[in-house]
Amino acid sequence: MRRTALLASAALLAGLLPWATARAADDPAPTPVDRFEGEVPFASQPAEGIFTWGGDTDDPPALSLTARTDAPEGAKVLTGTYDISGYGGFTHDFAAGEPAHDWSGHQGIRFWWDGRNNGRKIAFEIKDGGANGEASELWTTSFTDDFTGWKQIRIPFGDFAYRTDYQPVGGIDHVLGLTRMWGYAVTLPPGAKGDFAMDGVELYGRGDQSLHASVTTGAAVYPVREGGTARVRVTLATTGSAPVDEPVTVRYETGGGSAEPGKDYTPVSGTLTFPAGTASGTARTIEVPTRGDRAAEPAETVPLKLTVTGAKAPAETPQVVIDAHGLPYLDSRLPVKRRVADLLGRMSLAEKAGQMTQAERGAMTAPGDIAGYGLGSLLSGGGSTPTPNTPEAWAKMIDAFQLRTRATRFQIPLIYGVDAVHGHNNLSGATVMPHNIGLGATRDPGLAEKTASVTAAEVRATGVPWDFAPCLCVSRDERWGRSYESFGEDPALVQSMETVIQGLQGRADGRDLDRHDKVLATAKHFLGDGGTEYGSSTTGTYTTDQGVTKVTRQQLEAVHLAPFRTAVDRGVGTVMPSYSSLDILGDGKGPVKMHARADMIDGVLKDRLGFDGFVISDWNAIDQLPGDYASHVRTSVGAGLDMMMVPYTYKEFTGTLVDEVRAGRISRHRIDDAVSRILTQKFRLGLFEHPYADTGGAAAIGSRAHREVARRAAAESQVLLKNRGAVLPLKKSEKVYVAGSNADDIGNQTGGWTLTWQGSSGNITPGTTILQGMREAGGNVTYSKDASAPTGGYDAGVVVVGETPYAEGVGDVGNGHSLQLSAADRAAVDKVCAAMKCAVLVVSGRPQLIGDRLDGIDALVASWLPGTEGEGVADVLYGRRPFTGRLPVTWPRSEAQLPINVGDASYDPQFPYGWGLTTLTHVPQGGTAALRALAVAAAAAERAGADRTGRELVTQARLLVQRKAGERITESLAKPFADADHLLLTGRYGKAVEKLMTAYRAA
């Protein structure tokens, strides 16, 4: 049965169904939406029907239509099971090809739910306006499963609120019109396995004017300086902007807050009337005068109670807030340390607990929770964006959150954080840089700093002062789904690229943090996440991520701790521990989750290294600790964590933390230390003086100047691994055949952490694909993605292959991913390279196994994940810039070799660490004698501290070795060659050339 037919036959069905009985005499008959007897199919988007969805492959529930003798109506009910770690649920979309449905004549929607009495919250959503169910406004509410057996859940339409955490199309009119409805959705609770049963979805009751008219205030909070007058704007809005049919009255009265009437403000009361016929958008203003005195005071609140007749009242009572004033912590002339001490001494335990809490912006049950729980921070996880996803909307959203903090006693601003790991990658239209693996390939610390400066400027211009970057992991196994977030496998390389911290933060002493183009950086993930063993993960289907790093103490210090030592020296403001476990061989502790390792966080990081910033947990990471929730809180806070990223459980965390302190199981000294660290960074960022977004730099987001930096980074990240016959660079006069899955796909080119957590293929963000870049470079290009077009008559072929996007453990090899090219990519390579001289570009977050095809490939390029500026790749393909990139990780011959890294006793890769041919660059002449001379000169440069000269001398020696080796890379050549690159990065230029001499003799 078509959905439209079912709804159209509402009157007939209402007379037949047993549950369509009790109603007021003048109410319309209930209108069935879903009976679950089989009239609506299970389907996939965008077809009409019921379909499931979730945050990853494990999250969508399993649904079925089940015959039940206790069915509230008919014979069958909708049943399902679920086990959701992120988010998941199901939707019924009405047919996109049919007219939208008019629900405006009804009071609400109701359905039967088989209660489990588990106290869990179930979100229910309806879809309004737009072209179809997947391009509509989303309105949401929820109910709690706190009953047993069947119960009819009744939801008046007035209870639905516009979703501010996610909208698929950017909003239509922000009014629940009810005249163009496209379906509903149910979001099931995460965190524990469950099952449900549902039946008889229908519309009930008669609509009234309050469904189509509402009274709103311009804001929920109205800050005002002591002695000033607050002006609260009250606006009447209607569906479709039609005038109201009946009068609307608004009675108002001040009182009930922390401010004292008559002393702190002049009480006001009265009535506003919007007569019948009043146009939508008509506004009135209520003025609340405050009174001044000379006393220093915290902020005080004056609630303005509104009683509305004839329309829907505002969702919450607006509050006038008399700003805090005269207190020492508000004096920007005082040293930060003194301001922190003053503020800390005034705060209650509950207020301190709030500062240690970070919630996901989309998971707050109400915006008022920011003040209600005194939250210290909010974040946007991957894909958590405002609607529309524009710089203006970001700034407006964050300003609205900051406004909420004005209603707290001390008006402590939020510190808002995002994962801007390669540009402001959550923002559509932002400049997306190459991922860190590509930056590591550039070997250009100055360029890396510039990319971070662009990122910081774009992030701060949207009101965000805190970036969860950079990742300082030393990736030791490319099967790890996060390996592309690493600068490379050598700690010396990672340390050299930590100039990004200055790009983000400015000078190491923190004096630049209050600039409009700088953000607080985060060194992550402390400690050893790049060393987790394959197969050691205990998280879902992950194989490597969140696993166990087994090392000696010496290996831990030399490989994994070294980059964090550098980060502390560079003044990094925050540090994030890893999900992974650390097993230090010989210490007798076995694997211990990093979020529980007080010896590492409190002992090494804070005490030994002298880190004076604050430590922020990873997403829900404390939930992975053993024991009950109270023990999670005790253990993590005791280990030295200062702020907890508890996206969905901020209420539980703050309450538990307060209880644990009061019980004496967490010391008040530890709390004061944590809060002092957090407040210090907020003061350094200038948030107390300027909590709202400075959008002066917003016009530069995605600008040509910013994209030029990204373009240069993309060009320098390209690593030329093979170039038989000097196929590259191409000539513009050549007729070039382009193929492959990643030639014209901006989503694949940018990778994970782009617009969403896992990223996605396709045209997801503005930018230039590699194919477009080649065309814009003036190349004579023909494109056939699958190489199905005829291949005759071309001078050269370019096949762009590689991976599709992924992030973290979802991208682990063995978890639906491998290091092999897809069948389609292999076929494209085979066809093109058999027909003409060819260059193969591998767009990926890690090396791909191409040894079985290497002989048939003339030129091979590791393109990594170059970001939005495909012109940078074209620049080196067509010789506008030379190839200069070098491998930041070892390129293996087979997966059996993994893990394989520079310094290994056995080392026989396809291409060694540091390998990278060049074009447009003179390769010096000579052999062993020339190398000896270079070694003497390099040693002299080292002694003189002439780093630039030393590096240039080692580069000349490297080019000599690569020219002689050609395509014959043996184990006896590869090992000293890779060792030489490590020595170069540690400033031992003479020894590096000596190693290259050994490699030369083996070539």
- The 3-class SS string of 167-227 reads CCCCCCCCCCCCCCEEEEEEEECCCCCEEEEEEEEEEECCCCHHHCEEEEECCCEEEECCC
Nearest of 604, 617, 635, 537 to residue 575 by alpha carbon: 617
Distance, CA of 938 to CA of 690 (rounded, Å) = 51
> 808 catalytic, yes or no?
yes
Amino acid (one-letter) located at 462: T
Is 146 marked active-site? no
Residues in Cβ contact with 265 at an 8 Å cutoff, skipping those fewer than 6 apart:
254, 259, 288, 289, 290, 291, 302, 320, 322
- Specify which residues 202 forms β-bridges with: 32, 110
C-alpha–C-alpha distance, residues 411 and 144, integer Å: 33
**DSSP assignments along 959-994, one per residue:** HHHHHHHTT---HHHHHHHHHHHHHHHTT-HHHHHH
Q: Per the residue annotation, which of 125, 300, 602, 808 is the catalytic one?
A: 808
Interaxial angle between packed helices 650-662 and 668-684, expressed in degrees from 0 to 180 and rounded to the nearest 10:
130
Q: What does each C-alpha distance from 342 to 225, 301, 318 come to in angstroms?
A: 21, 22, 30
Neighbouring CB atoms inside 10 A of 335's CB total 9
Pairwise CA distance, residues 773 & 142, whole Å? 48
Reference 73, options 27, 35, 116; nearest CA is 35
| Contact present, 982 and 960 (Cβ < 8 Å) | no
Closest CA to 232 of 173, 309, 300, 303: 303
What is the C-alpha separation between 946 and 792, in angstroms, rounded?
53
Task: Look at residue 10 and give its three-state secondary structure.
Answer: helix
Q: Which of helix, strand or coil describes residue 720?
A: strand
Structure tokens at 211: 């469904």
* CA distance to 133, 290, 768, per residue, from 271 (Å): 41, 20, 58
Residue 239 token pair: 């569906």
Tokens 């090392």 label which residue?
551
Q: Please name which of 118, 168, 170, 172 lies closest in space to residue 148, comparing C-alpha atoms.
A: 118
Cβ count within 10 A of residue 795 = 15
All residues at 6 or more sequence positions from 905 whose CB lies less than 8 Å from its CB, including other chains: none
User: Taking a C-beta distance cutoff of 8 angstroms, is the pair 87, 194 a contact?
Assistant: no
Please name the residue ranges forming H helices in 347-424: 349-355, 369-372, 391-405
CB 973 within 8 A of CB 965: yes
Contacting residues for 371 by C-beta, under 8 A, at least 6 apart: 221, 404, 405, 407, 408
Phi and psi dihedrals of 978, rounded to 5? Answer: -65, -40
Alpha carbons within 13 angstroms on the beta-carbon side of residue 758 total 14
Check if the beta carbon of residue 448 is closer than 8 Å to that of residue 494: no
Q: What one-letter code names the amino acid at 538?
A: T
Q: Which residues contact 333 (CB under 8 A, 6 or more apart)?
A: none
Q: Order of strands across the sheet with 319-322?
A: 221-224, 319-322, 300-309, 248-254, 269-274
272 secondary structure, DSSP code: E
Out of 602, 618, 716, 979, the active site residue is 618
Q: Specify burial of residue 56 (Cβ count, 10 A radius: 0-12, 13-18, 19+).
A: middle
Active site residues: 618, 808
